[in-house]
Structure 1
Amino acid sequence: MMMKIMLRAIIAALILLPTMFAHGADPVRIGYSICKTGLFAQGAPSQITAYELWRDQVNAAGGLDVAGQKRPIEFVWYDDESSPAKAAQIYEKLITDDQVDLLLPPWGTPHHLSVAGVAEKYRFPIVGNTAASVAIRELKPGYIWFVTAQIPDRIGIELAALMSESGVKSAAVIANVLPFAQENFQFLIPALEQAGITVKLTEQYP
Protein backbone atom coordinates (compact mmCIF):
# COMPACT_ATOMS: atom_id res chain seq x y z
CA MET A 1 0.00 0.00 0.00
CA MET A 2 2.79 2.39 0.97
CA MET A 3 4.61 1.62 -2.29
CA LYS A 4 1.49 2.50 -4.30
CA ILE A 5 1.16 5.83 -2.47
CA MET A 6 4.83 6.64 -3.06
CA LEU A 7 4.54 5.67 -6.72
CA ARG A 8 1.52 7.92 -7.19
CA ALA A 9 3.36 10.77 -5.48
CA ILE A 10 6.37 10.34 -7.77
CA ILE A 11 4.17 10.26 -10.88
CA ALA A 12 2.31 13.40 -9.72
CA ALA A 13 5.62 15.17 -9.08
CA LEU A 14 6.90 14.25 -12.54
CA ILE A 15 3.72 15.59 -14.13
CA LEU A 16 3.95 18.86 -12.21
CA LEU A 17 7.71 19.28 -12.61
CA PRO A 18 7.66 21.18 -15.95
CA THR A 19 5.02 23.56 -14.60
CA MET A 20 7.00 24.12 -11.42
CA PHE A 21 10.12 24.92 -13.42
CA ALA A 22 8.17 27.26 -15.72
CA HIS A 23 6.81 29.25 -12.79
CA GLY A 24 10.20 29.35 -11.11
CA ALA A 25 12.19 30.22 -14.22
CA ASP A 26 14.07 33.50 -14.36
CA PRO A 27 12.22 36.07 -16.47
CA VAL A 28 13.47 37.29 -19.82
CA ARG A 29 14.04 40.98 -19.14
CA ILE A 30 13.29 43.12 -22.17
CA GLY A 31 14.02 46.84 -22.18
CA TYR A 32 12.83 49.84 -24.15
CA SER A 33 12.10 53.54 -23.90
CA ILE A 34 8.83 55.14 -24.91
CA CYS A 35 7.44 58.65 -25.38
CA LYS A 36 5.19 58.57 -22.35
CA THR A 37 5.34 62.36 -22.11
CA GLY A 38 6.36 65.17 -24.44
CA LEU A 39 5.71 65.97 -28.10
CA PHE A 40 5.14 62.39 -29.30
CA ALA A 41 3.13 61.19 -26.29
CA GLN A 42 -0.12 60.97 -28.26
CA GLY A 43 1.37 58.65 -30.88
CA ALA A 44 3.30 56.27 -28.66
CA PRO A 45 0.42 54.51 -26.81
CA SER A 46 -0.30 52.29 -29.82
CA GLN A 47 3.22 50.88 -29.54
CA ILE A 48 2.91 50.39 -25.77
CA THR A 49 -0.36 48.52 -26.32
CA ALA A 50 1.26 46.23 -28.91
CA TYR A 51 4.19 45.45 -26.62
CA GLU A 52 1.98 44.72 -23.62
CA LEU A 53 -0.43 42.59 -25.66
CA TRP A 54 2.45 40.47 -26.94
CA ARG A 55 3.90 40.08 -23.44
CA ASP A 56 0.55 39.12 -21.93
CA GLN A 57 -0.22 36.58 -24.66
CA VAL A 58 3.21 34.95 -24.42
CA ASN A 59 3.11 34.82 -20.62
CA ALA A 60 -0.42 33.38 -20.69
CA ALA A 61 0.93 30.57 -22.88
CA GLY A 62 3.62 29.77 -20.32
CA GLY A 63 6.34 32.21 -21.32
CA LEU A 64 8.96 32.71 -24.01
CA ASP A 65 10.61 29.52 -25.22
CA VAL A 66 14.34 29.87 -24.56
CA ALA A 67 16.31 26.75 -25.47
CA GLY A 68 13.30 24.60 -24.65
CA GLN A 69 12.48 26.32 -21.35
CA LYS A 70 9.47 28.57 -20.90
CA ARG A 71 10.45 31.84 -19.23
CA PRO A 72 8.12 34.73 -18.37
CA ILE A 73 8.65 38.10 -20.03
CA GLU A 74 9.38 41.10 -17.84
CA PHE A 75 9.59 44.64 -19.21
CA VAL A 76 12.08 47.26 -18.07
CA TRP A 77 11.09 50.59 -19.58
CA TYR A 78 11.60 54.32 -19.10
CA ASP A 79 9.96 57.50 -20.35
CA ASP A 80 12.30 59.19 -22.82
CA GLU A 81 10.11 62.33 -22.71
CA SER A 82 10.01 62.38 -26.54
CA SER A 83 13.72 63.22 -26.61
CA PRO A 84 15.90 61.19 -29.03
CA ALA A 85 19.01 62.13 -27.04
CA LYS A 86 17.46 60.87 -23.81
CA ALA A 87 16.37 57.68 -25.58
CA ALA A 88 20.01 56.97 -26.45
CA GLN A 89 21.00 57.47 -22.79
CA ILE A 90 18.23 55.13 -21.67
CA TYR A 91 19.27 52.37 -24.07
CA GLU A 92 22.83 52.61 -22.84
CA LYS A 93 21.53 52.29 -19.27
CA LEU A 94 19.36 49.30 -20.21
CA ILE A 95 22.41 47.53 -21.61
CA THR A 96 25.04 48.47 -19.03
CA ASP A 97 23.16 49.02 -15.75
CA ASP A 98 19.94 47.03 -16.09
CA GLN A 99 21.65 44.34 -18.17
CA VAL A 100 18.48 43.38 -20.00
CA ASP A 101 18.37 40.26 -22.14
CA LEU A 102 16.71 41.85 -25.17
CA LEU A 103 15.76 45.28 -26.46
CA LEU A 104 12.60 46.51 -28.14
CA PRO A 105 12.84 49.69 -30.21
CA PRO A 106 11.59 53.13 -29.13
CA TRP A 107 8.81 55.04 -30.87
CA GLY A 108 9.50 57.22 -33.89
CA THR A 109 12.15 57.70 -36.54
CA PRO A 110 14.35 60.26 -34.68
CA HIS A 111 14.55 57.95 -31.68
CA HIS A 112 15.51 54.96 -33.83
CA LEU A 113 18.29 56.94 -35.47
CA SER A 114 19.50 58.10 -32.07
CA VAL A 115 19.69 54.64 -30.47
CA ALA A 116 21.31 53.06 -33.54
CA GLY A 117 24.72 54.25 -32.34
CA VAL A 118 24.17 52.62 -28.95
CA ALA A 119 23.25 49.31 -30.58
CA GLU A 120 26.41 49.44 -32.68
CA LYS A 121 28.62 50.46 -29.75
CA TYR A 122 27.54 47.54 -27.58
CA ARG A 123 26.77 45.12 -30.44
CA PHE A 124 23.26 44.69 -29.08
CA PRO A 125 20.67 43.84 -31.77
CA ILE A 126 17.45 45.81 -32.20
CA VAL A 127 14.74 45.30 -34.83
CA GLY A 128 13.18 48.67 -35.65
CA ASN A 129 9.48 49.16 -36.21
CA THR A 130 8.07 52.71 -36.14
CA ALA A 131 10.85 54.23 -38.23
CA ALA A 132 10.23 55.50 -41.75
CA SER A 133 12.76 57.81 -43.34
CA VAL A 134 15.19 57.87 -46.23
CA ALA A 135 17.80 58.44 -43.52
CA ILE A 136 17.57 54.82 -42.36
CA ARG A 137 19.07 53.76 -45.69
CA GLU A 138 22.22 55.63 -44.72
CA LEU A 139 22.78 53.50 -41.62
CA LYS A 140 25.37 50.83 -42.21
CA PRO A 141 24.05 47.30 -41.66
CA GLY A 142 25.06 46.12 -38.22
CA TYR A 143 23.02 45.72 -35.07
CA ILE A 144 19.81 47.54 -35.98
CA TRP A 145 17.46 46.42 -38.74
CA PHE A 146 14.34 48.00 -40.20
CA VAL A 147 11.35 46.11 -41.58
CA THR A 148 9.20 49.05 -42.67
CA ALA A 149 8.34 49.70 -46.31
CA GLN A 150 6.79 53.10 -45.60
CA ILE A 151 9.65 55.29 -46.80
CA PRO A 152 8.44 58.80 -47.72
CA ASP A 153 10.11 59.00 -51.14
CA ARG A 154 8.24 55.86 -52.20
CA ILE A 155 5.01 56.92 -50.48
CA GLY A 156 4.98 60.19 -52.43
CA ILE A 157 5.43 58.51 -55.81
CA GLU A 158 2.84 55.80 -55.19
CA LEU A 159 0.27 58.20 -53.72
CA ALA A 160 0.64 60.58 -56.66
CA ALA A 161 0.26 57.67 -59.11
CA LEU A 162 -2.88 56.46 -57.32
CA MET A 163 -4.40 59.94 -57.38
CA SER A 164 -3.58 60.36 -61.07
CA GLU A 165 -5.15 56.99 -61.95
CA SER A 166 -8.25 58.04 -60.00
CA GLY A 167 -8.61 61.17 -62.11
CA VAL A 168 -7.55 63.69 -59.47
CA LYS A 169 -6.58 66.99 -61.12
CA SER A 170 -5.73 69.19 -58.12
CA ALA A 171 -4.86 68.79 -54.46
CA ALA A 172 -4.21 70.61 -51.21
CA VAL A 173 -1.40 69.33 -48.99
CA ILE A 174 -1.50 70.08 -45.27
CA ALA A 175 1.13 68.66 -42.92
CA ASN A 176 2.22 69.06 -39.33
CA VAL A 177 5.79 69.94 -38.41
CA LEU A 178 6.78 66.50 -37.11
CA PRO A 179 9.69 64.83 -38.95
CA PHE A 180 7.71 62.06 -40.67
CA ALA A 181 5.06 64.47 -41.95
CA GLN A 182 7.71 66.93 -43.14
CA GLU A 183 9.58 64.26 -45.06
CA ASN A 184 6.37 63.12 -46.73
CA PHE A 185 5.60 66.76 -47.54
CA GLN A 186 9.04 67.13 -49.11
CA PHE A 187 8.58 64.19 -51.50
CA LEU A 188 4.84 64.39 -52.15
CA ILE A 189 4.73 67.90 -53.64
CA PRO A 190 7.14 67.21 -56.54
CA ALA A 191 5.58 63.78 -57.09
CA LEU A 192 2.15 65.38 -57.50
CA GLU A 193 3.50 68.00 -59.88
CA GLN A 194 5.29 65.37 -61.95
CA ALA A 195 2.03 63.40 -62.16
CA GLY A 196 0.30 66.46 -63.60
CA ILE A 197 -1.70 67.23 -60.46
CA THR A 198 -1.94 70.92 -59.57
CA VAL A 199 -1.08 71.69 -55.96
CA LYS A 200 -3.39 74.59 -55.09
CA LEU A 201 -2.61 74.87 -51.39
CA THR A 202 0.23 73.89 -49.07
CA GLU A 203 0.10 74.58 -45.35
CA GLN A 204 1.92 73.41 -42.26
CA TYR A 205 0.81 73.47 -38.66
CA PRO A 206 2.41 72.74 -35.25
Structure 2
Amino acid sequence: MRRLFQLALLVAAAAPAPWLLADGGERVVNLAMEDQFKNRHETLRMRGDVVVLVYAERKGAEASMALGRKLHVRFHPQAAQAAATEWSRQPVVGLAGWPAGSAPPDVHVIPVACLPEVPKALEAVARSRFRKDSQFVSVWLDFEDTMRQRFGVVPDEPNVALIDTRGCPQGVISGHLDEVRFAEVVNVIDQLRLRSLPDRTAAIPTAMTTVR
Protein backbone atom coordinates (compact mmCIF):
# COMPACT_ATOMS: atom_id res chain seq x y z
CA MET A 1 0.00 0.00 0.00
CA ARG A 2 1.27 3.47 -0.75
CA ARG A 3 2.40 5.04 2.48
CA LEU A 4 -1.10 5.66 3.82
CA PHE A 5 -2.02 7.29 0.49
CA GLN A 6 -0.40 10.35 -0.99
CA LEU A 7 -2.76 12.69 0.84
CA ALA A 8 -1.01 12.14 4.16
CA LEU A 9 2.25 13.91 4.94
CA LEU A 10 4.69 11.83 6.92
CA VAL A 11 5.69 13.25 10.26
CA ALA A 12 8.42 10.88 11.41
CA ALA A 13 10.87 13.77 11.81
CA ALA A 14 9.11 15.65 14.57
CA ALA A 15 10.46 18.04 17.19
CA PRO A 16 12.80 16.88 19.96
CA ALA A 17 11.00 14.86 22.61
CA PRO A 18 11.23 11.62 24.59
CA TRP A 19 10.84 8.90 21.94
CA LEU A 20 10.33 5.17 21.89
CA LEU A 21 11.07 2.86 19.00
CA ALA A 22 8.62 0.22 17.85
CA ASP A 23 9.81 -2.88 16.03
CA GLY A 24 10.79 -1.75 12.55
CA GLY A 25 12.38 1.42 13.87
CA GLU A 26 9.33 3.68 13.70
CA ARG A 27 9.14 6.35 16.35
CA VAL A 28 6.47 6.29 19.01
CA VAL A 29 5.33 9.68 20.21
CA ASN A 30 3.69 10.51 23.52
CA LEU A 31 1.73 13.77 23.50
CA ALA A 32 0.69 14.94 26.95
CA MET A 33 -1.71 17.81 27.63
CA GLU A 34 -4.37 18.92 30.06
CA ASP A 35 -7.97 19.57 29.09
CA GLN A 36 -10.29 22.35 30.23
CA PHE A 37 -10.96 20.45 33.47
CA LYS A 38 -7.22 20.19 34.21
CA ASN A 39 -7.30 16.45 33.59
CA ARG A 40 -4.00 15.22 32.16
CA HIS A 41 -4.07 13.06 29.04
CA GLU A 42 -1.36 11.16 27.17
CA THR A 43 -1.60 9.55 23.75
CA LEU A 44 0.61 6.67 24.85
CA ARG A 45 -2.15 5.54 27.20
CA MET A 46 -4.28 4.91 24.12
CA ARG A 47 -1.91 2.45 22.50
CA GLY A 48 -3.91 -0.34 20.91
CA ASP A 49 -6.35 2.19 19.43
CA VAL A 50 -6.03 4.78 16.67
CA VAL A 51 -5.67 8.38 17.85
CA VAL A 52 -6.97 11.19 15.64
CA LEU A 53 -5.91 14.65 16.81
CA VAL A 54 -8.05 17.37 15.24
CA TYR A 55 -6.47 20.74 15.90
CA ALA A 56 -6.43 24.34 14.76
CA GLU A 57 -5.43 27.83 15.70
CA ARG A 58 -8.08 30.28 16.84
CA LYS A 59 -9.47 31.24 13.42
CA GLY A 60 -9.81 27.61 12.37
CA ALA A 61 -11.35 26.43 15.64
CA GLU A 62 -14.97 26.31 14.49
CA ALA A 63 -14.20 24.26 11.37
CA SER A 64 -11.92 22.02 13.40
CA MET A 65 -14.58 21.28 15.99
CA ALA A 66 -17.13 20.51 13.27
CA LEU A 67 -14.71 18.10 11.59
CA GLY A 68 -13.92 16.43 14.90
CA ARG A 69 -17.62 15.89 15.60
CA LYS A 70 -18.14 14.44 12.13
CA LEU A 71 -15.24 12.02 12.50
CA HIS A 72 -16.35 10.93 15.96
CA VAL A 73 -19.89 10.20 14.78
CA ARG A 74 -18.57 8.35 11.72
CA PHE A 75 -16.74 5.89 13.95
CA HIS A 76 -19.26 5.99 16.82
CA PRO A 77 -22.66 6.25 15.07
CA GLN A 78 -24.66 5.91 18.26
CA ALA A 79 -23.20 9.22 19.42
CA ALA A 80 -25.55 10.98 17.01
CA GLN A 81 -28.50 10.04 19.24
CA ALA A 82 -26.72 9.99 22.60
CA ALA A 83 -27.12 12.49 25.41
CA ALA A 84 -24.33 15.01 25.72
CA THR A 85 -23.04 13.29 28.86
CA GLU A 86 -22.69 9.99 26.96
CA TRP A 87 -21.52 11.34 23.61
CA SER A 88 -17.88 10.38 24.13
CA ARG A 89 -18.64 6.91 25.50
CA GLN A 90 -20.32 5.23 22.55
CA PRO A 91 -18.99 1.97 21.05
CA VAL A 92 -16.81 2.05 17.97
CA VAL A 93 -18.20 0.80 14.67
CA GLY A 94 -17.15 -2.64 13.45
CA LEU A 95 -14.38 -3.24 10.93
CA ALA A 96 -14.62 -5.34 7.77
CA GLY A 97 -12.10 -8.17 7.89
CA TRP A 98 -11.83 -8.16 11.67
CA PRO A 99 -12.31 -11.56 13.38
CA ALA A 100 -15.74 -12.14 14.88
CA GLY A 101 -15.81 -12.17 18.65
CA SER A 102 -12.82 -9.86 18.97
CA ALA A 103 -13.19 -6.14 19.64
CA PRO A 104 -11.61 -3.98 16.92
CA PRO A 105 -9.41 -1.00 17.83
CA ASP A 106 -11.27 2.10 18.94
CA VAL A 107 -10.81 5.47 17.26
CA HIS A 108 -10.16 8.33 19.69
CA VAL A 109 -11.02 11.60 17.96
CA ILE A 110 -9.49 14.28 20.16
CA PRO A 111 -10.16 18.01 19.70
CA VAL A 112 -7.08 20.11 20.43
CA ALA A 113 -7.19 23.88 20.80
CA CYS A 114 -3.88 25.53 19.85
CA LEU A 115 -3.42 28.44 22.26
CA PRO A 116 0.27 29.39 22.31
CA GLU A 117 -0.65 33.08 22.28
CA VAL A 118 -2.42 32.86 25.65
CA PRO A 119 -0.21 34.25 28.45
CA LYS A 120 0.35 32.04 31.46
CA ALA A 121 -1.62 34.45 33.62
CA LEU A 122 -4.70 34.02 31.40
CA GLU A 123 -4.66 30.24 31.02
CA ALA A 124 -7.28 29.90 33.76
CA VAL A 125 -9.56 32.26 31.83
CA ALA A 126 -9.14 30.15 28.69
CA ARG A 127 -9.95 26.97 30.61
CA SER A 128 -13.08 28.59 32.02
CA ARG A 129 -14.27 29.56 28.55
CA PHE A 130 -13.76 26.03 27.24
CA ARG A 131 -15.58 24.55 30.24
CA LYS A 132 -18.52 26.77 29.37
CA ASP A 133 -18.44 25.95 25.66
CA SER A 134 -17.75 22.21 26.08
CA GLN A 135 -19.22 21.00 29.35
CA PHE A 136 -18.93 17.27 28.70
CA VAL A 137 -16.46 16.71 25.86
CA SER A 138 -12.79 16.98 26.77
CA VAL A 139 -10.79 19.49 24.73
CA TRP A 140 -7.02 19.29 24.99
CA LEU A 141 -5.49 22.74 25.47
CA ASP A 142 -2.16 23.28 23.73
CA PHE A 143 -0.61 26.26 25.50
CA GLU A 144 2.94 25.12 24.67
CA ASP A 145 2.66 25.14 20.85
CA THR A 146 3.21 21.38 20.86
CA MET A 147 1.07 20.57 17.82
CA ARG A 148 2.80 23.07 15.56
CA GLN A 149 6.24 21.93 16.70
CA ARG A 150 5.47 18.24 16.33
CA PHE A 151 3.23 18.14 13.27
CA GLY A 152 3.02 21.61 11.75
CA VAL A 153 -0.15 23.63 11.38
CA VAL A 154 -1.89 25.33 8.48
CA PRO A 155 -3.33 28.61 9.82
CA ASP A 156 -7.09 29.20 9.75
CA GLU A 157 -7.78 25.57 8.77
CA PRO A 158 -8.49 22.29 10.56
CA ASN A 159 -5.52 19.95 10.81
CA VAL A 160 -5.68 16.20 11.46
CA ALA A 161 -2.78 14.15 12.82
CA LEU A 162 -3.02 10.36 12.80
CA ILE A 163 -1.31 8.08 15.33
CA ASP A 164 -1.52 4.33 14.78
CA THR A 165 -2.23 1.59 17.31
CA ARG A 166 1.47 1.32 18.21
CA GLY A 167 1.67 5.03 18.98
CA CYS A 168 3.57 5.89 15.79
CA PRO A 169 2.67 9.13 13.93
CA GLN A 170 1.45 8.30 10.43
CA GLY A 171 0.54 11.57 8.81
CA VAL A 172 -1.12 14.96 8.83
CA ILE A 173 -3.78 16.35 6.54
CA SER A 174 -4.82 20.00 6.62
CA GLY A 175 -7.56 22.09 5.10
CA HIS A 176 -11.20 21.57 4.22
CA LEU A 177 -12.27 17.96 3.69
CA ASP A 178 -14.97 17.56 1.07
CA GLU A 179 -16.86 14.27 1.02
CA VAL A 180 -14.25 12.56 -1.16
CA ARG A 181 -11.32 13.58 1.03
CA PHE A 182 -13.29 12.78 4.18
CA ALA A 183 -13.94 9.27 2.87
CA GLU A 184 -10.24 8.89 2.10
CA VAL A 185 -9.31 9.86 5.66
CA VAL A 186 -11.87 7.40 7.03
CA ASN A 187 -10.36 4.67 4.85
CA VAL A 188 -6.85 5.45 6.12
CA ILE A 189 -8.05 5.24 9.73
CA ASP A 190 -9.69 1.88 9.04
CA GLN A 191 -6.48 0.64 7.40
CA LEU A 192 -4.56 1.64 10.52
CA ARG A 193 -7.06 -0.29 12.63
CA LEU A 194 -6.84 -3.35 10.40
CA ARG A 195 -3.06 -3.20 10.29
CA SER A 196 -2.96 -3.84 14.04
CA LEU A 197 -4.43 -7.32 13.63
CA PRO A 198 -1.07 -9.17 13.47
CA ASP A 199 0.05 -7.39 16.65
CA ARG A 200 -3.11 -8.37 18.48
CA THR A 201 -2.86 -12.02 17.49
CA ALA A 202 0.86 -12.37 18.16
CA ALA A 203 1.90 -14.30 21.26
CA ILE A 204 4.62 -11.76 22.10
CA PRO A 205 3.77 -8.03 22.17
CA THR A 206 5.73 -5.54 20.11
CA ALA A 207 9.06 -4.79 21.76
CA MET A 208 9.70 -1.20 22.72
CA THR A 209 13.06 0.45 23.30
CA THR A 210 13.57 3.85 24.86
CA VAL A 211 15.64 6.30 22.84
CA ARG A 212 17.42 9.07 24.69
Given the two structures, how large is their TM-score scaled by the length of structure 2?
0.26
Max radius of gyration: which structure? Answer: 1
Given the two structures, how large is their TM-score scaled by the length of structure 1?
0.27
